[in-house]
Amino acid sequence: MDDEVRRAARAVDGARLWRRLMAMAEIGATPAGGVNRQALSIEDRAARRRLVEWAWERGYDAAQDGAANLFVHRPGSEPQLPPVLVGSHLDSQPTGGRFDGAFGVLAAFEVLEALDDAGVATRRAVEAVAWTNEEGSRFSPGAMGSAVFARRMTLGEILPVTDWDGVPLADALRDTLADLPEVPMRDRGLVPAAFLETHIEQGPRLEAEGIPVGVVTGIQGISNIHVEVIGAEAHAGTTPRRLRRDALKTAAAMVLALEDAFADGDDTVRFTVGRFDVTPSSPNTVPGHVRFTIDFRHPDPATIERLTGRIEPICQGLAGACEVRVHRKRDVPPTRFDEGTVDLLRESAKGLGIAHMDMFSGAGHDAMHLSAICPTAMVFTPCKDGISHNEAESAKPEDLAAGTRVLAAAACALAQR
């Protein structure tokens, strides 16, 4: 490992990173110790502002693009070279934890500071990025900002998306961009030299093995589908069963049938109905409308395609007197990260004497989209009991620091190429 790379990794200040994480976790803090900082909300805007203030304090420029992706720039000595991007997301689940996303953004910021503290000048610029709406809990699908950046979606596709209260993403995006008028806009034409992301594992393996760093080789495929069941509202006291078109009863049968259809012997398929909205949601009105979400994942694209194809026939077969509409929202194919970049992470961990293991990601990440346009890889760190998407999410400062050191070493090496 070359001397500058080692110095950059050693300059990672775990205590500073932890302080920033805890300060960020104050924004949208929930009484149960988590965060509610959903995409493009007031809280998300406050988090973005905090990152920009930290950037300016340290003398870095910030910029944002039309999808409100936010970039903090540490210049390189050869400004014409494409930068190395490092980052993750600041938005959270409605009952999210303090680390999902924020760790990856603040670790990236720590990499910039570590390079400065180590007195390392890099050829390429290194940028810390916060991608917009990774979680997809407010505006579906998730990882929108990185998808637009990587040209897997267009701005035109995401602008009309509405949240569950009917607020168009276009409005929330406009207000978010306007909230940081001092941060210049830049176009989305940039193709980075490489992208690195670190994230808590969100599963139990690293903790169980007592290993602080996971080198991520890929991400399983994701399919997001919304199902609408349309019945008829009717009086609960007067309408006989035979005359009802009960959207809730019909949708419930669909969910159970889909659960069965997606069950596999080796428990590889991940099938989740995470949102189920009933209208008008009144105790004495037969429900006239239900909308539910399906999030389903698998490492094999053919299995995703085959199972996705079963959803509509199963729902139609159970629709009875109701109407059903199946909306296919997003498919992200399984991702294989660039072998050379994965190897650089392994070598970085090894050179720093940090125990590591290869792993495959069950969760989705912005890296899955970035890998479509540049060499990309990820570093995982352990989290307590593998718990995530939960306010109880927890991680140890020393593990986060170890992951960030590997990130700093790899970012430094890539920025010197």
Q: Name the binder of 364 from ligand GLV, Mn ion, none, CB < 5-8 A by kind.
A: ligand GLV
- Say whether residue 51 binds ligand GLV (CB under 6 A): no
Q: Name the binder of 246 from Mn ion, ligand GLV, none, CB < 5-8 A by kind.
A: none
Of 91, 127, 135, 207, which one interacts with ligand GLV (CB under 6 A)?
A: 135
- Say whether residue 207 binds Mn ion (CB under 5 A): no
- Say whether residue 363 binds ligand GLV (CB under 6 A): yes
Exposed / middle / buried, residue 145 (Cβ in 10 Å: 0-12, 13-18, 19+): buried
The kind and range of the H/E element at 87 are strand 84-89
Q: Which is nearer to Mn ion, 78 or 385 (CB)?
A: 385
Quote the CA–CA distance of 94 and 270 in Å, as a whole number.
21
User: Which string of x and - marks every residue 224-263 that binds ligand GLV (by CB under 6 A)?
Assistant: ----------------------------------------
Quote the CA–CA distance of 24 and 276 in Å, as a whole number.
31
Q: Are 353 and 406 in contact (CB under 8 A)?
A: no
How near is the Cβ of 224 to ligand GLV at its closest, in Å?
9
Residues binding ligand GLV: number (CB under 6 A): 4
Residue 358 CA from chain centroid, whole number: 20
- Report the relative pairing of strands 70-74 and 126-131 from DSSP bridges: antiparallel
> Maximum distance among all alpha carbons in the chain?
80
Count how many residues are written for the chain: 417
Inter-CA distances, 337 with 24, 403, 415, Å? 29, 18, 19
Query: Which residue sits closest to ligand GLV, CB atoms considered?
Result: 364
Q: Name the binder of 366 from Mn ion, ligand GLV, none, CB < 5-8 A by kind.
A: none
Quote the CA–CA distance of 371 and 333 in Å, as a whole number.
11
Q: Name the binder of 142 from ligand GLV, Mn ion, none, CB < 5-8 A by kind.
A: ligand GLV
Judged by CB under 5 A, the chain residues 90 through 119 that form the site for Mn ion are 100-101
Q: Which is nearer to Mn ion, 7 or 37 (CB)?
A: 37
Provide the binding-site residues for ligand GLV, judged by CB under 6 A: 135, 142, 363-364
